[in-house]
Structure 1
Amino acid sequence: MSDDIWKRDEVQSPCINICVVHPAERICTGCLRSIDEIAAWGRMSNEDRAELMKELPSRVGRLKKRRGGRKSRIG
């Protein structure tokens, strides 16, 4: 049996099943989408999905900012 029936010609979700929202940035640490973007994904056009997918890599840096901790206190 072929899986061709389940394949669609649309932009697939960037979800990687690591669904944790960063407390300060308010984006998912797995797929880098906001809660609103995740909720709207099923209703988005293919063009809107593609545009969002282009933007996601630029969000990675937002999650790598130091927020303090021991090393920031040691001179």
Structure 2
Amino acid sequence: MTDQPRRPPAPIKTPCIKVCVIDGESGLCMGCYRQLSEVAGWAKLTDDDRARIMAELAGRRERISPEKLAMF
């Protein structure tokens, strides 16, 4: 029996752009549009759950006022 070298885990796809500011009104991150609970639990979600959330993100942008988004 030969020991095979361990491969590093596959990277987890994420919408994070390193702008971690939570909008108080919507509860969404103004960088990636995820909820704080989604950001915190991202690594524990299944690939399907992450894909579902990623598909919803574009529609969430409108929940944050344009004036706030203009800061970034």
How does the TM-score come out when normalised to structure 1? Answer: 0.70
Gaps of 5+ in 2: 1-6, 68-72
The number of residues matched between the two structures is 61
Question: Which residue number corresponds to residue 25 of structure 1?
Answer: 26
RMSD: 2.2
Residues 48-70 of structure 1: per-residue CA shift (max 9 Å, x gap): 1000000111101111367xxxx
Gaps of 5+ in 1: 1-5, 67-75
Comparing 26-35 with 11-20, which one deviates more in the overlay? 11-20
Over 3 Å off, 4+ runs: 6-11
CA displacement at 1:23 relative to structure 2 = 1.1
Q: 1:32–1:56: 8 Å Cα contact kept in structure 2?
A: yes
How does the TM-score come out when normalised to structure 2? Answer: 0.73
Q: What letter matches 2:65 in structure 1?
A: K
- Percent same amino acid among aligned pairs? 33
